[in-house]
Structure 1
Amino acid sequence: MATNNLLEAFRITYQNLQLLPLITPEDLAKFRVEYGTRVRAELEQVVEDCTDINNKVIFTGHRGCGKSTLLADFSRRIRDRYFVTFFSISDMIEMSDVNHINILFAIAVQMMDQAEKENIKIKESIKEKFYQWFATKTRTNIEEKKREGGPEFNLFGWIKLQLKTNSTIRNEIKQEFQRNISELIDQVDLIATVIRDKTEQEILVIIDDLDKLDLGVVREIFSDHIKVLMRPKFRIIYTVPMAAMRDKNLRTIMQDESNNQVKLMPVSKFFGKGENRNPDAEPNQKLVEVFKQIIGKRIASDLIEPDILTEIILKSGGVLREAIRIMNQCCSECLLLIRMEPHQKNIKIDRSIFEQAIRELRNDLARPLSNTDYQILTTIYNKFNPDISNDNDQDKFLELLHNVYILEYINDDLWYDVHPIVIDLLQRRGLLLES
C-alpha cells in the first residue's frame, strides 16, 4: 500500500476508534454490534413494570463496558412508547461541579428542549410561563437575547451552554434552590405533566455519565441527597459507578431508595475464575468473536494481524473501551512509524507495534500507583477478593475498581481480578514470584 494511502487508512481507523460510545443514529447504524441484549431486556422490563412510587432505576457497571452505547440504543428502541429524554451530564455541567440541584435543573432544561425538538404543541400561555421561570432562575432577559440572536434564539440551548461554561450561573441556581428544592421539583413535575398530556406518553429520562464522577462527588450526591433525586413523579434512569455499589453504606442507600431497582452491566468474562493463570486456557470464543466484530467495523482487516487482534481483545480484560483504547494506541504507533519511516509500505499492527502500545499503556497505568495500591492489587491477583481490613484500604480498593485497575466478574460467585496490563506490571515488579 502506498504511503499516502496507508497514512489515510490509519487516520480513518484512528477516527473510527474515537466513536465510542455510539450515541447518534448514524454512528449506531454504522458501528453497532448486538451486545448486552439481556441487560437491555432487563432495563425494558423494569421501566415497563414500574409504578408511580417505584420508578427510579440505578444502572451501574465498569467504566467503558458499553453502558452509554446500550442506553442510547435502548432509548431509541423505546421512543415509540415513551417520551424519552436521554442526555450526558458531562455535556450539561462541568463534572467537578455536579450536584443534586443542577442534575434536577438539567432534567427540566432537557425535557423542555426535547419537547421543542419534537414540536410538541404546548399551549402558548403555559410555554411562556415555563420560559419566564427558566429566564428568572438563570437571570436571562429573553427579549434582549432574541434581539441578539434573532427569532431563531433557542433559550434552552443557551441555558445548556451556560450550565456547562458559566460557574456563576451554576452557583446562582444552587443558591436559589438550596433552601427551596420543592419549587424545583414541582416545576420538573409540571413540565412532565404537560408533556405527558400532550403526547399521551409516559416520561422516561436517562442520565448518562454520572458514573464518571469522582467517588467523593457520587457519595455526596447519592448519600446525602438521594431522596430528592427520587422525588420527581416519572421514570428516571441514573447511571452510577461500579465502585459506588461496592461501598456498603452507599449501596444500601441506593438499594433502599430505589426499592432495589438496581441493574448491572457486567464485564465480558473471557475466562473463568483463575483460568487466565494457565497459559493453555481457552477463552470464551463467543465473547471474543463479539469483540472482533466491534473492532472489525472500525479497522480494515489488512491493517492488523489476526493473532494480534485476539491478543488485544484478551488484554482488555473484557472491558470494551479498554480494547478500543489498546487499538487506539496501536494506531497511534503506526501513524508515528509511517511519518518516521515513509519508505516502509507494509506497516500494520503486528507484534512489535502491539508490544510498544502495551508498554506505553502499562507505564501510564503505573504512574499514580502507591505501595498500598500494589499490595491491594497483589492480594486481588492471589485471592480474587480484596481482603480489606481497614477503611483506608477499602477506599483504595474502591478507587482502583473505579479506575478499572481491578475488574469485577460474576458467575455463580462474585470475584475480582486485576486488569491484564496491570498483571504485566505486577510481574515486572517481581510481586508475583511466589504465586
Structure 2
Amino acid sequence: MTSSNYPLANTLKTAFQDCSVEPLEPEEMERYYVDLSAARKTSAIDSVSTILDFQDPADFCAILFTGHRGCGKSTELKRIQKLWKEDYRVIYLEVNEETDINDAQYTDLYLIVIKQVEFELRKLGLNFDAQLLKNFEAWFKDVTKEDEQSVEKSVSIQGEATLGPEAPFIAKLLVKLLAQIKGSEKQKTTIRQTLEKDLSRLKADINLLLGDAYVKIRNKFPQCKGLLIIFDNLDRVPPAVADHLFLDYAAQLQELHCTLIYTVPISVLCSPKNPLKQWESDPHIVPMVNIYEFERDRCDLNYNQTGLDAVASLIEKRVDIDAVFTSRDVLLEMAKASGGHVRQLMQMMRTACQRSSTQKHPKIDADDVTYAIKQQQFSFERFIPEDHYPLLAQVCLSKNVSKDEIGQLMLFNTSVLEYNGDKRWNYPNPVVKRNEFFQEALKSALSGQP
C-alpha cells in the first residue's frame, strides 16, 4: 500500500475530486505522482533524460514519445519539464490548442515553434536580432500579403496570451495564421500552400532565429544547454494523419535547430509503412502497467499481483481506502478492469464515487464498481464496429495486433492495449472482453482452432 505525507480523501466527494482524469501539473507531482516504471517494465522518462543529459550545449535532436492516450504520457512529459528546467529552457505546449489536431501538418509545427520561442524570449526580456527579425518579417509579408494594418484588424491582443503591446509584427501574424489554420478549411489550405512554395527559406530563417535565441538565452543563463520544446497531444492526430506527418515529413520534423519532443500515436508503431524508419532514434514508449502474467498461448491471462498493486497505488496515493471502499478487494477489481490504463482507472473511480453517493452507500462497494466497469464497457460497445470483434478475438488468442489500418485503429481507440517488457505484446481492453459481441467472436475463433 502506498503511503502519503499529504491528507488523503476520506469522503466520496473528495475522492471524486482528487481522482481527476487530467494530467498532473508540476506542482502536483510530489503529492500524487506514482512511479510506475517497474510495473510498466520500461522507463521512457529515464531514457529521454539520458538523451538530454548526454547532449552538450548547442546540440539538438528530435525525440519521439509514445503510448496510448490516457496512459500517463502528459504527466511524464511534465515531469521532464520539471526535471530539466535548470538545464534547458523548456517550452511545453499542447498542439491541439495551437492548430487543427485532426489535420496537422509540419508547417503548422514550424509556425508554432517560432511563435512560442519569440514569446519565451519576450518573457525573459530578450529579443531576436533586429536584422534577422526584419528579414523574416519582410519575407512573411511578401508571401502572405499581410501587413501591420491587416494583422491589427484581425488580432485581439487581449484574447491571446502570447501577445501584448510590445509584441512584434511577426508574433501577431503567427497568431493570426494559426487561428486561420485552426478555424477555416479554405484559409488553412491557402496558408499551407503559400508556405510550402518556399519551404527552404522558411526553414532557413526559422533556424537562424533559433540559433539567435540560443545565443541570447546562453548569455543570460550560462548553464542552459538550449531550447527544449515539448509537443504534447500530437498523439491525438488520426492514424492516417500520423502516417503522413511522421513518414512523409519525418525529415522536416527533424531539421529544426532545437531539441524537440513529439508525442506520437502508438498506432504509428504498427503501420505497415514503418514510418519510424525515417527517424534517427527509436521511439520512447509508455506502455500499459502490466497487470498480467504473460503467456502467449493462454487466452485468459492470470493477473500479476505486483502490477495490480501498482495500479491500485494510483488511487491509494489520493484516497483513504478504508474510509472510501468497503474493502481493498473492491479496488483491485477496478484495477483489473483498467487493464493498467491510468485514465480508464480514474474514470471508473469517479463513476463509482458518483454511483455510490447516488445510491446512498456509505462507501464504494462491489455493485458500485460493477456499475462503473459496465459504463466503460457500454462506451466501447457504442463505437467498436461489428467487424472488429473477430479481430479482437484473434488478438486475445495471439497477443498480437494486426499490422494494418484496423490494427492501428484498435490501438488508437484503446480497444487493444500494448504491453512491454521482455516481449512486446497486445491484449484486448478488459472492458471489451466483457461484452457479448467479443465473447461470441472468441467462441467462434476457438471452435475453429485445431
2:338 aligned with 1:316, yes or no? Answer: yes
CA drift at 1:377:
0.7
Query: SS of the counterpart of 2:290?
Result: coil
CA drift at 1:49:
3.2
CA drift at 1:267:
1.6
What CA distance in whole angstroms lies between the structure 2 residues aligned with 1:157 and 1:288?
50
> Scaled by the length of structure 2, what TM-score is found?
0.80
Q: Which amino acid is 1:260 matched to?
A: S
Of the three residues 11, 16, 19, the one matched with 1:17 is 19
Cα deviation per residue 1:347-397 (whole Å; 9 max; x = unaligned)? 4321111111222211110122233201011111122224x5xx8xx2112
Q: Which amino acid is 2:376 matched to?
A: L
> Are the counterparts in 2 of residues 105 and 184 from structure 1 also a CA contact under 8 Å?
no
Query: SS of the counterpart of 2:244?
Result: helix
> Are the counterparts in 1 of residues 356 and 365 from structure 2 also a CA contact under 8 Å?
no
Of the three residues 292, 300, 305, the one matched with 2:312 is 292
Pick closer, same or farther for the CA change 1:299–1:68 going to 2, 3 Å.
Answer: same
Aligned 1:122-141 pairs, distance under 5 A = 122=128, 139=146, 141=148
Range with bigger deviation, 236-245 or 50-59: 50-59
Pick closer, same or farther for the CA change 1:159–1:292 going to 2, 3 Å.
Answer: farther
Name the counterpart of 2:63.
57
Pick closer, same or farther for the CA change 1:396–1:427 going to 2, 3 Å.
Answer: closer
Q: Which amino acid is 2:287 matched to?
A: P
Aligned 1:215-294 pairs, distance under 5 A = 215-249=239-273, 251=274, 253-255=275-277, 257-274=278-295, 281-285=302-306, 287-294=307-314
What CA distance in whole angstroms lies between the structure 1 residues aligned with 2:44 and 2:156?
47
Cα deviation per residue 1:389-433 (whole Å; 9 max; x = unaligned)? xx8xx2112111111111122232222111111111157743444
Of the three residues 117, 126, 130, the one matched with 1:120 is 126
CA drift at 1:313:
1.4
Pick closer, same or farther for the CA change 1:427–1:225 going to 2, 3 Å.
Answer: closer
CA drift at 1:38:
3.0
Cα deviation per residue 1:58-103 (whole Å; 9 max; x = unaligned)? 2212222111110111022112111222211112112123111101
Name the counterpart of 1:40.
45
2:366 aligned with 1:351, yes or no? Answer: yes
> Are the counterparts in 2 of residues 405 and 422 from structure 1 also a CA contact under 8 Å?
yes
> Are the counterparts in 1 of residues 177 and 191 from structure 2 also a CA contact under 8 Å?
no
What CA distance in whole angstroms lies between the structure 1 residues aligned with 2:83 and 2:318?
24
Identical residues among aligned pairs (%): 20
Pick closer, same or farther for the CA change 1:221–1:48 going to 2, 3 Å.
Answer: same
What CA distance in whole angstroms lies between the structure 1 residues aligned with 2:281 and 2:428?
29
Name the counterpart of 1:90.
96
Q: Which amino acid is 1:28 matched to?
A: M
> Are the counterparts in 2 of residues 406 and 419 from structure 1 also a CA contact under 8 Å?
yes
The total of aligned residue pairs comes to: 410
Range with bigger deviation, 66-75 or 172-181: 172-181
What CA distance in whole angstroms lies between the structure 2 residues aligned with 1:122 and 1:371?
56
CA drift at 1:18:
3.2
What CA distance in whole angstroms lies between the structure 1 residues aligned with 2:72 and 2:94?
14
Range with bigger deviation, 168-177 or 234-243: 168-177
Name the counterpart of 1:214.
238
Query: SS of the counterpart of 2:407?
Result: helix
Pick closer, same or farther for the CA change 1:25–1:331 going to 2, 3 Å.
Answer: same
> Are the counterparts in 2 of residues 56 and 230 from structure 1 also a CA contact under 8 Å?
yes
RMSD: 3.4
CA drift at 1:118:
3.4
Of the three residues 376, 388, 395, the one matched with 1:373 is 388
What CA distance in whole angstroms lies between the structure 1 residues aligned with 2:153 and 2:364?
52
- Segments of structure 2 that go 5 or more residues without pairing to the other structure are 1-9, 219-224
Pick closer, same or farther for the CA change 1:203–1:106 going to 2, 3 Å.
Answer: same
Cα deviation per residue 1:319-362 (whole Å; 9 max; x = unaligned)? 21121122132234345x16xxxxx3x44321111111222211
- Segments of structure 1 that go 5 or more residues without pairing to the other structure are 1-7, 339-343
Query: SS of the counterpart of 2:394?
Result: helix
Aligned 1:89-238 pairs, distance under 5 A = 89-120=95-126, 122=128, 139=146, 141=148, 144=152, 149=157, 152-153=164-165, 155=167, 156=171, 159-160=174-175, 163-164=178-179, 165-167=182-184, 170-200=188-218, 201-238=225-262
What CA distance in whole angstroms lies between the structure 1 residues aligned with 2:145 and 2:82?
31
CA drift at 1:125:
6.2
What CA distance in whole angstroms lies between the structure 2 residues aligned with 1:204 and 1:21?
20
Query: SS of the counterpart of 1:352?
Result: helix
What CA distance in whole angstroms lies between the structure 1 residues aligned with 2:155 and 2:347?
46
What CA distance in whole angstroms lies between the structure 2 residues aligned with 1:161 and 1:17?
37
Cα deviation per residue 1:209-231 (whole Å; 9 max; x = unaligned)? 11111001111212221111111
Pick closer, same or farther for the CA change 1:78–1:243 going to 2, 3 Å.
Answer: same
